Amino acid sequence: MVMENEEEYREVIIESGKDQENDGTEDEDDDDLDRETEKWMKHYSSKQRILLVGEGDLSFSICLARAFGSARNMVATSLDTQEDLAKKYSYGIGNVRELEERGCLVLYKVDAHQMSQHFFLKTQRFDRIVFNFPHVGFLYPEDNNCQIKLNKTLVKGFLKNAKMLLRKQGGEIHVSHKKGEPYDRWNLVKKAEKIGLVLHEVVPFSRNDYPGYCNKRAHGSLADAPFLLGNCSTYKFRLSPNQFA
């Protein structure tokens, strides 16, 4: 089933009972979540509402979904269309099917620069918003100033939009990112602080902590191939206290 226009999304979201105004008030879905036993995968819990942004072949979402059993607490998004996912990744469509069977909402063509205006996402608030290894694609060499500028713009757009979709109480935005040159030049933490976020914690990121997760280049003829992770960390941001004033 290909869902790329707003009308089709609306129908599917209403059918799957996910058309919830999520302003912190409890509804039936939240009640169901409350009754379930809490399950954890590293920093993520089956009791958190989790938004995944810029997924590659959706294998990170799959890892969480399998750990939780039910994935009704998750919305997994990709910048790609469903056709792109099928073309780019060996397991793209299989992963979509499994996520949907587990109750995860999968949304396509979600641009991190505009996601706070997305017709469905804008009605939701999330406890965790996760973007692993944001990257615009390999347009120039990795250390070229133009490439760095494009990647910085992506991160800024993501953080600004994620902030709007974050639950005020206890909400966290997680960005996993490589360390060292040229990645330090993205100034991730400074960017976040300018936007009204504070760095809560930085923890080493290891792919081994997430069974089934395959990090993807996601661009060009090697889209389905992994990229070298090297030294990388998950940066956890919260709303700065003056955002509550």
Positions that interact with ligand SAM (CB under 6 A): 53-56, 60, 79, 111-113, 132-136, 154, 215-218
Neighbours of 14 (CB within 10 A): 10
Q: How far is the CB of 79 from ligand SAM (least distance, A)?
A: 4
Identify which of residues 73 and 234 has a Cβ nearer to ligand SAM in the complex.
234
Whether 197 contacts 163, CB under 8 Å = yes
Q: Tell me how far, at minimum, the Cβ of 205 lies from ligand SAM, in Å.
A: 10
Backbone dihedral angles phi then psi of residue 241, each to the nearest 5 degrees: -55, -30
DSSP sequence for 170-208: T-EEEEEEE-STTGGGG-HHHHHHHTTEEEEEEEE--GG
Residue 211 CB, nearest approach to ligand SAM (Å) = 15
Q: Which is nearer to ligand SAM, 117 or 169 (CB)?
A: 117
Find out whether 200 and 236 touch, Cβ atoms under 8 Å.
yes
Between 163 and 243, CB nearer to ligand SAM: 163
Q: Measured from the CB of residue 242, what is the shortest distance to ligand SAM in angstroms?
A: 28
Which among 69, 18, 72, 213 is positioned nearest to 132, based on CA atoms? 213
Report the residue number, 102 or 216, with the smaller CB distance to ligand SAM: 216
Q: How far is the CB of 91 from ligand SAM (least distance, A)?
A: 12
Closest to ligand SAM by CB, 30 vs 84, is 84
C-beta of 42 vs 113, nearer to ligand SAM = 113
137 Cβ neighbours under 8 A, 6+ residues apart: 218, 219, 220
Helix axes 59-68, 92-101, angle to 10 degrees: 30
Cβ at position 213, least distance to ligand SAM in Å: 7
Measured torsion, CA atoms of residues 195, 197, 198, 199, in degrees rounded to the nearest 10? -90
Beta bridge partners of 199: 237
